[in-house]
């Protein structure tokens, strides 16, 4: 008797929240600004000790140092020579990739299924596009100069020829990941081989999260089977208009997104909508039209000019606050947006996001609660219902409510956080075990 084909294993339905990939990086580097506060190997933020030879990188303990040594031993003399200068992160990453490839990395495979795998050479390099992109070429030239100085000693230079270097650089640009810590801060750059099979969508059905330097991909929708050609993650910030998203994707990944969200004109209008002049109508209004499409109220010249004014003020204010957001600046924008921009206008949502972070930074908890709560619908709409950022927003709100002794509200937000983070991170992720669970226990304890 012949058994049915083994397709049952790959045909199995994937439930939302299933981890579909766990992968260690092919190469990664800790961002230099964390050089003295995080371990160069496990990326943990703990008390660290410098490598006694280069005094450039630091480790949390001997085990991490030993684990890192097979690769670090090649770069250690380069980094030692570089000090007191700090090597740009991209140059350090290229150096690591070069060293990895020189020492057998070219044969290494990253698996995305039991049989499906990719090698570094299989990664897309966008060689032609990069070669024709003056900004990229200039960047690479400056990195080449850094590398040449770094990697040349009495026995000569180990920097690959320009064509080879560009193909490595192209793979880094196109496939690089930012490793995020639990708070979603970018702490390192990495290349993972297996996950590079995954395409982008602005409406993804999977999400990538990290635990230390390990990458996890979780399904955020139920999937009929594990077919990697139909698995999408988002490469970019989804809290942007289709126009901005497409520009981001074109600039970094050299393709034009044609996902349903990018080609839907309604989406663009909603993201930049004004409020309806009719106070009892909550429709989003396209400012270029004469009337509200829902209630026929006329768009007045006053509304149009207020709209243009606040849109440009908001955009320039947010632009100037890319590094640090100031609460007073956010408040001025929010006050002017009221009654002009629709609550789901993406620029309003971005302002709330900045105001929320700014309020937390200066410990204004009442303000933070107000902005955080107003932020929920926009985050859910644009980031999606199953996004780590929405889960984290609920967790932060739960924490503040707990601090403010609103225990019932705290439990509500923490439960929402748990529901989402269980899917995006998995129940056994440290974020849930070490941060969310203690908060939940405390909130429940206080309530009883």
Which positions lie near Zn ion, rule CB under 5 A?
A: 39, 41-42, 51, 53-54, 60, 64, 76, 202, 257, 259, 262, 276, 278, 281, 283, 292, 294-295, 297
Whether the link from the prior residue into 367 is cis, omega within 30° of 0, is no
CB nearer to Zn ion: pick between 45 and 145: 45
Task: Round to whole Å and give the CA distance between 212 and 209.
Answer: 10
CB nearer to Zn ion: pick between 39 and 330: 39
Minimum distance between the CB of residue 245 and Zn ion, rounded to whole angstroms? 6
CB nearer to Zn ion: pick between 194 and 242: 242
- Residue 11's CB is within 10 A of a number of other CB atoms, namely 12
CB nearer to Zn ion: pick between 41 and 337: 41
- Residues in CB range of 420: below 8 A, 6 or more apart: 385, 386, 387, 388, 390, 391, 394
Cβ(437)–Cβ(427) below 8 Å: no
First to last CA, the chain: 63
CB nearer to Zn ion: pick between 60 and 165: 60
CB nearer to Zn ion: pick between 4 and 301: 301
DSSP codes of every residue in 406-447? -HHHHHHHHHHHHHHHHHHT-TTSHIIIIIIHHHHHHHHHHH
CB nearer to Zn ion: pick between 41 and 424: 41
C-alpha triplet 386, 391, 392: angle, nearest 5°: 145
Give the H or E element holding residue 233: strand 232-233
Minimum distance between the CB of residue 124 and Zn ion, rounded to whole angstroms? 18
Minimum distance between the CB of residue 77 and Zn ion, rounded to whole angstroms? 8
Minimum distance between the CB of residue 410 and Zn ion, rounded to whole angstroms? 33
Pick the closest to residue 349 from 273, 264, 263 (CA basis): 273
Task: Round to whole Å and give the CA distance between 155 and 147.
Answer: 15
Task: Round to whole Å and give the CA distance between 14 and 219.
Answer: 7
- Residues in CB range of 118: below 8 A, 6 or more apart: 109, 110, 112, 193, 194, 196, 197
Task: Round to whole Å and give the CA distance between 226 and 228.
Answer: 6
Minimum distance between the CB of residue 163 and Zn ion, rounded to whole angstroms? 30
Minimum distance between the CB of residue 140 and Zn ion, rounded to whole angstroms? 26
Minimum distance between the CB of residue 387 and Zn ion, rounded to whole angstroms? 15
CB nearer to Zn ion: pick between 79 and 411: 79
Cβ(167)–Cβ(160) below 8 Å: no
Minimum distance between the CB of residue 56 and Zn ion, rounded to whole angstroms? 6
Plot region of 126 (φ>0 → left; ψ -120 to 50 → alpha; else → beta) = left
Minimum distance between the CB of residue 6 and Zn ion, rounded to whole angstroms? 36
The length of the chain, given as a count of residues: 448
CB nearer to Zn ion: pick between 47 and 444: 47
CB nearer to Zn ion: pick between 89 and 370: 89
Plot region of 35 (φ>0 → left; ψ -120 to 50 → alpha; else → beta) = alpha
Minimum distance between the CB of residue 208 and Zn ion, rounded to whole angstroms? 17
**Would you tell me the crossing angle of helices 162-175 and 134-151 to the nearest 10 degrees?**
110
């Amino acid at each position: 008797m012949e058994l049915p084909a083994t397709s049952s294993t790959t045909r199995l339905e994937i439930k939302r929240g299933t981890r579909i990939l766990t992968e260690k990086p092919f190469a990664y580097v800790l961002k230099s600004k964390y050089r003295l506060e995080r371990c160069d190997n496990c990326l943990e933020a703990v008390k660290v000790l410098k490598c006694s030879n280069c005094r450039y990188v630091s480790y949390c303990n001997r085990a991490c140092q030993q684990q890192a040594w097979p690769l670090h031993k090649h770069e250690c003399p380069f980094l030692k020579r570089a000090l007191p200068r700090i090597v740009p992160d991209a140059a350090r990453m290229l150096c690591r990739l070069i060293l990895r490839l020189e020492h057998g990395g070219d044969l290494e495979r990253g698996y995305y299924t039991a049989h499906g795998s990719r090698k570094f050479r299989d990664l897309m390099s966008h060689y032609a596009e990069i070669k024709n992109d003056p900004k990229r070429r200039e960047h690479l030239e400056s990195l080449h100069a850094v590398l040449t100085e770094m990697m040349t000693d009495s026995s000569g230079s180990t920097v690959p020829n320009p064509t080879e270097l560009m193909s490595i650089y192209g793979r880094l640009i196109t496939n690089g990941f930012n490793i995020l810590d639990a708070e979603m801060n970018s702490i390192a750059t990495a290349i993972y081989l297996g996950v590079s099979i995954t395409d982008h969508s602005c409406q993804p059905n999977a999400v990538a999260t990290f635990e230390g330097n390990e990458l996890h991909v979780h399904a955020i929708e139920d999937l009929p089977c594990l077919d990697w050609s139909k698995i999408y993650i988002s490469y970019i910030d989804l809290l942007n208009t289709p126009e901005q998203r497409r520009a981001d994707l074109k600039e970094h990944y050299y393709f034009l997104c044609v996902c349903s969200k990018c080609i839907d004109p309604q989406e663009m209008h909603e993201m930049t909508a004004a409020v309806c002049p009719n106070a009892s109508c909550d429709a989003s209004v396209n400012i270029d039209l004469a009337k509200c499409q829902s209630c026929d109220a006329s768009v007045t010249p006053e509304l149009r000019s207020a709209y243009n004014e606040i849109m440009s003020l908001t955009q320039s204010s947010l632009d100037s606050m890319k590094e640090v957001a100031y609460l007073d600046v956010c408040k001025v924008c929010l006050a002017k947006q009221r009654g002009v921009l629709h609550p789901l206008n993406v620029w309003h949502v971005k302002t709330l996001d900045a105001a929320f972070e700014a309020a937390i930074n200066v410990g204004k908890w009442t303000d933070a609660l107000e902005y955080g709560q107003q932020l929920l619908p926009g985050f859910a709409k644009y980031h999606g219902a199953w996004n780590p950022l929405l889960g984290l927003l609920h967790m932060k709100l739960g924490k503040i409510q707990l601090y403010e002794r609103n225990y019932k509200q705290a439990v509500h937000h923490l439960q929402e956080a748990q529901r989402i983070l269980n899917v995006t991170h998995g129940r056994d992720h440290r974020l849930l075990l070490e941060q969310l669970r203690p908060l939940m226990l405390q909130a429940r304890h206080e309530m009883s």
